[in-house]
Chains A and B, each alone.
Chain A
Amino acid sequence: GAVVSQHPSRVICKSGTSVKIECRSLDFQATTMFWYRQFPKQSLMLMATSNEGSKATYEQGVEKDKFLINHASLTLSTLTVTSAHPEDSSFYICSAIWGTEAFFGQGTRLTVV
């Protein structure tokens, strides 16, 4: 299967700072990637669809100015959590489509202190 790499796997930051998370498709090109958020013992909630070369599409209730998405190449999408607050602490997961299947990164656990 295809490989999606997400970095970092874990990050702790101070409240008010920004954090960037990278999602790479290692052995295939992905014109579309997805960013999810997962709270403990809960399901994955889609935050936004990242489209290569164009603006991301955000789900209802997700602040686009807070969660900046850049999909500058066919193998890389980044999610930047700006001015992070403790309530932004969560597990963030990206996925990329290969054929008709979605492959997920390892996830990034963000802790804002």
Chain B
Amino acid sequence: QKEVEQDPGPLSVPEGAIVSLNCTYSNSAFQYFMWYRQYSRKGPELLMYTYSSGNKEDGRFTAQVDKSSKYISLFIRDSQPSDSATYLCAMGVQGAQKLVFGQGTRLTINP
């Protein structure tokens, strides 16, 4: 079993839709949870960073962590074509040191 599981997709939705991206994990020691966006042939870009259960909102993005279920989500509201990218969840025990990444979900927002 992988430490972090993420549905690779691809996921295709119409512009304006609400997108839900999810990851599950097995290591209860993970304390820090991140979501990265990666455009084709580019390095990952940090979107959201949380370290507690609950919701964290930043503009159109909401990160949700449920430590009891070992489940994290990223919601994108009012999705735009520019949101089309691969989204990677990442987790760490000590902050951002030695992150473990999910496989990434390829998302396409259709105009």
Contacts and interface: CB of A to CB of B under 8 A. Distances in A.
Interface residues of A, number: 25
Contact of A102 (B41, B96, B102, B106): B96
B45 A104 contact: yes
A102 B101 CA distance: 12
Interface residues of B, number: 25
A7 interface: no
A41 B88 contact: no
Interface of A: 1, 4, 6, 32, 34, 41-46, 49, 91, 93, 95, 97, 100-107, 109
A31 to B, nearest CB: 11
15 contacts: A43-B6, A43-B88, A43-B101, A43-B104, A44-B101, A45-B101, A49-B98, A91-B41, A95-B99, A100-B32, A100-B95, A101-B95, A104-B36, A105-B43, A109-B41
Contact of B44 (A42, A46, A93): A93
A45 to B, nearest CB: 8
A100 to B, nearest CB: 4
Which of B6, B8, B98 gathers the greatest number of chain A CB atoms within 10 Å? Answer: B98
B34 interface: yes
